Amino acid sequence: MAENRTQRIEELVARLCGVPLTAETVFLRPTRRDGLLDKEVCDALLALRTDAILFSLKSQDDPKSRAGTKLSSWCGKHAGKAVGQLGGAVRAIKAQPFWCDHRRRGRVHFAADLLRPRHALVILETLDAVALPPELPDHNHGVPVTYISLNDTLNLIDQVRSFPDLAAYLDARSSLPLAIRRVVGREEVLYTCYLLEEERFPPVHSLADIDAIVGPRLGEFRSRQAKKAYLDTFAPLVELVCDALATRRPDFAAGLDADTLAAFDPDGQRGHYLRLQEELCDLRLITRRELGFALFDVRRTLEQSGDRGAYRAFQASEKPDLVYLLMSTKGIDRPTVLKSTRGMLGAAKAFYGCRRAMGIVDLDGTNFEICLIESYVMSESERAFGQELFGRLQNITITMRTLPL
């Protein structure tokens, strides 16, 4: 149980970040050994493969108790403390091993210098916009530091929804003038400008310049946001698949032949699912939406056809060596589906000339089956089967009425 308000907020931040980013990439209070004592590295960090974003969070006992100069003084003082702590975190991550007791993964160990800190966030709880002292550090041991409010942090992650998009925004933001980056509580107008300018920032000198760009285009922004809100509804389908990978059905081995069963991790030694999650977590939001829509389209096609299955292929420009095979089935037993999926993945890999193929199967609308194959070898039988399956597909969904299962 959290002992105080700060700890409760840290836990809330970790859980909210874990919704779009996937819980396995969010680490609350990572810890290192310092002599005879255990010390926190930072309040939280986001980690995807070897990239990391570090959080230091400062909250108030009562966020309504300070305003004006008192609030500015509190924010300046605690921003200084937080950036100092983040400097220690960057040094520790590079120099020594650490660990985190993750709520789903158990104890996760990190070797020294395994993670590459991309950004460090000083997160301040303030309900008002506050100008911070300009002398606060811009970088800590080579890592860019971003000063941002708690509410803006959560809203930003809810909007970008992926680690690569968050890192891209912070990269662009770090190029803004100091006068803009030292004000917390105005992230909405910054993010609005970023979207209106096609995910970049134009040459500006002050927040007044940002306001001058955004103000006349609010109607355009509202139109874009409405479109974004609609398109973003498909991203949670991919996030749901990521989250589902964390849990394995108790009877996963029932009815499976030896070859199929060999592809699963042994009980108590699960690790492959993290690799599968990475292939979805590192997709940019625009691709996540498209993949989510493709999953939706497969399910819709199946429901409208009355058939037992539907499938389609999906490729993302950011992953030219990978093809996704998306399937939805109804009333087909799981062992048959899994065995068929393996054959179809080999055919997809051969037809699209990819080294890797990832299958995402919506099984009876109750659970997902996910698998990944990797190989440079493509047999003639796989090529022929690939032509049969995908030669007429052309990025549309078809039913499986004529396919042997």
Whole-angstrom Cα Rg for the chain: 24
**5-185: CATH class:** alpha beta
Per-residue pLDDT at 96 exceeds 90:
yes
Across residues 226-232, what is the average pLDDT? 95
The confidence score (pLDDT) of residue 392 equals 76
Identity of the residue numbered 167:
A
Contact predicate 313/395, CB 8 Å: yes
Percent of the chain with pLDDT over 90: 87
Contact predicate 355/374, CB 8 Å: yes
Per-residue pLDDT at 401 exceeds 70:
no
Dihedral angle, C-alpha 78, 79, 81, 87, nearest 10 ° = 160
Dist CA 120 CA 81 (whole Å) = 13
Percent of the chain with pLDDT over 70: 96
Q: What is the pLDDT of residues 8-58, one digit of tens each?
A: 999 999 999 999 999 999 999 999 999 999 999 999 999 999 999 999 999
Per-residue pLDDT at 1 exceeds 70:
no
Per-residue pLDDT at 378 exceeds 60:
yes
Q: Where are the domains of the chain?
A: 5-185, 234-399
Show the tokens assigned to 118. Answer: 């991309």
Q: Whole-prediction pTM value?
A: 0.94
Cα atoms in the Cβ-side hemisphere of radius 13 Å centred on 17: 25
**Extended strands (E) in 198-315:** 309-314
Dist CA 216 CA 355 (whole Å) = 48
